[in-house]
Amino acid sequence: MPLPEFADLGFTIDGHIATLEIQRPPHNYLDIELIDNIASALEYIDAETEARAVVLCSGGRSFCAGANLRRDAPASPPTGNRRGREHLYREAVRLFETGTPIVAAVHGNAIGAGLGLALVADFRVATPDARLTVSFSRLGFHNGFATSATLPRVVGQQWASRLLMTGMLISGEQGHAIGLVDELAPEEQLRERALDLANEIAAAAPLAVRSIRRTLRRGYADDVRRAMDTEQVEQDWLRRTADFKEGVAATAERRAPAFEGR
């Protein structure tokens, strides 16, 4: 039976490994439609296939350079109205409710919501020179995509606090040192190494793997949902501040922002 087709998303299955490739080159910006398609593909894999692991990867120059809530607008700084953001967050929770283990192959930029998407995965294989950041604070904005919940879970409270509060940019190699990245591979071997890890997972007893994953992630989707609700409240009031306007202007003008705390 042929696999379903999803816009901007390649979907293949080879043996027990499913591959989802985001196909919005060069930078693979996220929006509601793409989140919905990834979630729907993962749900289909759970319900209708014998896949035991998923590789999530991207074509083009970046894994995902951030969110674009309006398809005709630049992805950074964050755009879109409240209703659009609410729907994006609602769709994003679905990603955390699926059952098949995920390995993300991360190259180029994984910025903001793009790094949030990588954090949906159980494991991340990245190139040493990948560029990883949750740079919302440098826009005068609050982080989103439940990174308040997902990032501390992966790197611990201290590193999550530093990454979120400073908006610092780190490399894949630095990400590996703090536990954000599980393995490093040169770009020409990145997808192969992600597939190797997926096959390691698939070689274990599938019922046991899913059972273990359920235990490890017990309550995780609820934590994600609560984090997204809180993040949205914070984003809504910060969007009205002068600092946010300055962050947007500084980003557009490629200069350092001059924040005044108002």
Band (68; pLDDT cuts 50, 70, 90): confident
Residue 27 sits at φ, ψ, to 5 deg, of -115, -5
Band (86; pLDDT cuts 50, 70, 90): low
pLDDT recorded at residue 80: 52
Cβ contact 193:46 at 8 Å: no
> Is the sign of the CA dihedral 133, 139, 145, 150 positive or negative?
positive
Band (75; pLDDT cuts 50, 70, 90): very low
pLDDT recorded at residue 83: 54
Q: Is the pLDDT of residue 198 over 90?
A: yes
Q: Are strands 53-58 and 109-111 parallel, antiparallel or unpaired?
A: unpaired
Band (77; pLDDT cuts 50, 70, 90): very low
Q: What pLDDT, in 10s, does the model give residues 98-121?
A: 999 999 999 999 999 999 999 999
Peptide bond into 77 cis (omega under 30): yes
Instruction: Name the percent of the chain lying above pLDDT 70.
Output: 93
Contacts of 132 (CB under 8 A, 6+ apart): 106, 110, 111, 115, 118, 126, 169, 170, 171, 172, 174, 175, 180, 181
Band (36; pLDDT cuts 50, 70, 90): very high
pTM over 0.85: yes
What is the domain partition of the chain in residue ranges?
Answer: 1-187+206-262
Q: Angle at Cα 111 formed by Cα 229 and Cα 35, nearest 5°? A: 55
Band (71; pLDDT cuts 50, 70, 90): very low
Fold of 1-187+206-262: 2-enoyl-CoA Hydratase; Chain A, domain 1 (3.90.226)
Instruction: Name the percent of the chain lying above pLDDT 90.
Output: 89
Q: Is the pLDDT of residue 25 over 80?
A: yes
Cβ contact 134:96 at 8 Å: no
